[in-house]
Amino acid sequence: MAMRSMFRRRRKKVCSFCHSKDGSIDYRKVNILYHYIDTRARIKNRRRTGVCAKHQRVLSKAIKRAREMAFLPCK
Ligand SMILES: [Zn+2]
C-alpha cells in the first residue's frame, strides 16, 4: 500500500516552456493549457507543474483569458 511514498523522486523539474523551442504561451492553445489545470478547473501550483515563475505568471494570465473566451471551464 504505502508504495507511493517510497518511490518519490526528487529530480529537479525543468520548466517545459523554457525547454521547448516554441515557448510562447497562448490562450488559444487550449490543449497545452489543459495540462496546467486540475480536474476542478483550478490552475495547478508551481510545485506540481514545475513551470518557472516567469512562465507561471504568463500561464495564469493565459488561462484566465481562455476562461473569459470560454475555451476553458471555470469553476
Ligand atoms: Zn519557464
Main-chain dihedrals φ then ψ at residue 2, nearest 5 degrees: -75, 35
What nine digits make up the cell of 73? 471551464
Instruction: Give the pLDDT of residue 61.
Output: 96
Q: From 12, 45, 49, select the one nearest 32 (Cα to Cα).
A: 49
Question: How far, in Å, from the CA of 70 to the mean position of ligand 1?
Answer: 25
CATH value at residue 34: 4.10.640.10
Instruction: Give the pLDDT of residue 62.
Output: 96
Question: How far, in Å, from the CA of 57 to the mean position of ligand 1?
Answer: 10
Instruction: Give the pLDDT of residue 9.
Output: 59
Confidence (pTM): 0.78
Which residues are found with C-beta within 5 Å of the ion, ligand 1?
15, 17-18, 52, 55
In a domain, 42, yes or no: yes
Q: How far apart are CA 67 and CA 61, in angstroms?
A: 10
Domain carrying residue 54: 26-75
Instruction: Give the pLDDT of residue 19.
Output: 87
Report, as ranges of residue numbers, the positions in the chain whose pLDDT lies below 70: 1-12, 75
In a domain, 19, yes or no: no
Instruction: Give the pLDDT of residue 36.
Output: 95
Instruction: Give the pLDDT of residue 18.
Output: 92
In a domain, 8, yes or no: no
- Number of domains into which the chain is organized: 1
